[in-house]
Amino acid sequence: MSSPAIRRITQAGVVGALALGVSGVVVMDKSVALSVDGEKSTVHSFGGTVADVLDKQGIELGEHDTVTPSAQTPVDDGQTIVVRYGRKLTVTVDGKEREYWTTATTVGDALKELGIRGSDDAVLSASRSQGIGRDGLELKMSTPKDVKLLIGGKRSTATVTAATVEAALKQAEVRYDSNDLIKPGASAAVKDGMTIRLDRISNKSDRRTESIPFTTVYKKDASMLEGTTKVEREGRDGLRTNNVRLYYKNGKVSDSKVTNSKITRKPVNKIVVQGTKPKPEPKPKATAAPKASTPKSSTRTSTPKPTSSPEPTSSPEPTSEPTSEPKSTGSGAGIDLSRAAMWDRIAQCESTGNWSINTGNGYYGGLQFDIRTWLGAGGGDFAQRADLASRAEQITVANRVYAQRGLQPWGCAHAA
């Protein structure tokens, strides 16, 4: 065979081989529609599976990523492959934090996909149209809650979506200042059915005047009989002016504090003079001498002697009692001055030692007897009332009562 013929045969073989090679390439090349997180493109692939296509495009799938159809699915010409990357969504619902994974690219789509309860009416920290990046997103959600309000002592209710007590009060249009007390605290999380209490606290200044009681001062006077007193000077209360800070809780005064004080008038002490001169004891009244009896006539017969008229018997002169002692109708017999010092101390407490005192309060004399006790203990032997009897007679009756009842009837028994 000639050389030209050989060359034609060789060229024909090469052309045929090239034709077969081109035909093979056309058969293996596939056009694929690729969508990655919504971004669409067309790629050509000579691979046999979805995984081969993704590998050629440099797309790596993580644990939370999805691909449709699955990575092992054979690729057909015109195939559509959808890749959606997983995104971490941290959601804090009414203070409770939870983590979710979603392939949604916006907050609204993610909430629908996850089906979080109460999200439709909830208040979100981000808009529902906000996108979620590959790095994820933190989202706070407050669902509607019914709360009870106790504001300044008045009760009411409100429905709020606030996450904190402070925000709930603002939603309920409750105004307050830094002095007011909030329970629980302003930063506490709001819970359904909880009670929010707000006490309104305020304070203001005030000026008040108060009296300063005077003191009674006792002076001894030896020229006056014991048991007698006289007022040398009357007492007068002083005045003090106080600047006061008043604290109010819900409109009512809850506390007060004196910030400064000034005496505007000093008190004047009352001065009482007490006698210390001992009283003389009353003298017993003289008794009349017995009349002489006429002797009986003798049985013997005798010449009767003339009988002289008896001389009139003169009455004894009355003995006057000291004018300093109360008058007494008693005889002075049976006087008992035991415990006299004790009774003097009690009388000083009961009546400032005035044995003839009668203030009209139903109690009489230095030891303040009432009529029933006085007469029941035989006080009628001396006088109708204790203030009409002498000191000695009052002490005598007091000793009778003491023998039966001790010091129980006297309020000043402690002075004994």
CATH number for the domain including 38? 2.170.130.30
Name the region of 375 (left: φ>0; alpha: ψ -120 to 50; beta: rest): alpha
Residue 299 lies in a domain: no
Are 40 and 70 part of one and the same domain?
yes
Q: Which tens digit of pLDDT belongs to each residue from 310-360?
A: 333 333 333 333 333 444 444 445 899 999 999 999 999 999 999 999 998
Domain count, the chain: 5
- Average pLDDT of 35-55? 84
Contact of 219 with 270, CB cutoff 8 Å: no
Residue 107 lies in a domain: yes
SS3 405: helix
Residue 11 lies in a domain: no
Q: Which tens digit of pLDDT belongs to each residue from 264-294?
A: 999 999 999 999 989 887 766 655 555 444 4
What pLDDT band is residue 51 in, cutting at 50, 70 and 90?
Answer: confident
User: Which residues, listed in sequence order, are joined to residue 100 by a DSSP beta bridge?
Assistant: 89
Residue 327 lies in a domain: no
Average pLDDT along the chain: 81
CA distance between the termini of the chain: 169
Is 80 exceeded by the pLDDT of residue 178? yes
Query: Which domain-ending residue is among 37, 55, 85?
Result: 85
Is 70 exceeded by the pLDDT of residue 253? yes
Range of the domain at 256: 204-277
Sort strands 154-160 and 181-183 into parallel, antiparallel or unpaired: unpaired
Q: Which tens digit of pLDDT belongs to each residue from 74-111?
A: 988 888 989 989 899 999 887 788 889 999 889 988 88
pLDDT of residue 308: 37
Which amino acid, residue 54? L
Are 57 and 106 part of one and the same domain?
no
Distance CA 190, CA 168 (A): 8
pLDDT of residue 283: 63
Q: Which tens digit of pLDDT belongs to each residue from 193-216?
A: 999 999 999 999 999 999 999 999
**CATH label of the domain that carries residue 184:** 3.10.20
Percent of the chain surpassing pLDDT 90: 48
**CATH label of the domain that carries residue 266:** 2.20.230.10
Token pair, residue 350, equals 């009961």
pLDDT of residue 362: 92
